[in-house]
Copies of this chain bind each other. A is one copy, B any other.
């Protein structure tokens, strides 16, 4: 914490601040400058709350210095985390492909898509059984019925199942039928749900909220890890901006930003990240080129009949083409990524 005094702050005001700092058990470092004094604070273990100082007389600003995270940092664990889901991995040398329909709609639909996903070499199948929908009148998913279909897909194709839970009871059900719990963007700040996921034996795919800062996203991961579950994969899925040519603005710079701070793997969702079918493949290629550990992609056998997110789903043919493209890029990337 750095407390910056106003140009006209009195010596008394400066010494009052120093008093408060010392009362909190910290050490104060006053630095008188040409036009104003700044006071550094050391001795704190975590972040100091700026509000201790912001409204005191003579204070212009209180600036945070210490970062508030612990478990997600490279400081703690300099090696990259490799999340293991059975014999499949996210965060290692292989590009993790997680593909499937937005929502499980029927046995036939799930199996048609799963066959193509399996054929493409992907190891993960995604599909929603519990769907968070903006409108209460929209299709809300098949629920347990959907989870059972997913479990059958797992059995038949050997794909690892990634599916979303919306509440604590939902995690109980997902644990019964699936391999990885997805926490959706709308729930990134649902701390009760994060803590429950932190007590699960399953790995967690944590989507970034659409208006979450990097710090907030990493602290959401910290909420899961603090309960003991260190198997967390971050997923960038676009943020909300003024731009209207896409459903969200995919923030690919989040990948190098996470890499510099955290050991956790990070994947890209170009489907929600754009919301438009014709943009998914170009942004999937970009996601691999920026250095992501994997992709989360929506695929549907008949997008024009999809009960949700049809506009952004790839057809089976488009999906197969996309996989070919991204694998070619991943191949030339491997030596580069090692350098970074």
Interface residues of A (CB under 8 A from B): 2, 4, 7-8, 20, 29, 31-36, 38, 40, 42-47, 49-56, 61, 63, 65-66, 68-70, 75, 132-137, 166-168, 170, 186-187, 189-193, 209-211, 213-216, 219, 222-223, 226, 239-246, 249-257, 260, 273-274, 276-279, 281-283, 285-291, 303-306, 308-312, 321, 325, 328-329, 331-333, 336, 339-340
Contacts and interface: CB of A to CB of B under 8 A. Distances in A.
Contacts of A168: 167
Given A51-B309, A189-B186, A332-B328, A256 B240 contact: no
A29 B239 CA distance: 36
Contacts of A66: 33, 35-36
Contacts of A283: 252-253, 256, 290
Contacts of A49: 308, 310
B251 A249 contact: yes
A304 B51 CA distance: 6
Nearest to A4: B65
B311 A50 contact: yes
The winner among A8, A20, A253, A254 for most chain B CB atoms within 10 A is A253
A215 B138 CA distance: 14
Given A38-B40, A251-B249, A192 B167 contact: yes
Contacts of A43: 33-34
A16 to B, nearest CB: 11
A325 B244 CA distance: 32
Contacts of A303: 51, 55
Nearest to A137: B46
A8 to B, nearest CB: 7
Contacts of A190: 166-167, 186-187, 190, 193
A166 B193 CA distance: 10
27 contacts: A2-B63, A29-B31, A31-B40, A33-B43, A34-B43, A52-B310, A53-B304, A63-B63, A63-B65, A68-B134, A190-B190, A213-B244, A239-B249, A241-B249, A245-B253, A246-B251, A246-B253, A255-B282, A256-B278, A260-B278, A282-B290, A285-B289, A285-B290, A285-B333, A288-B289, A328-B336, A329-B333
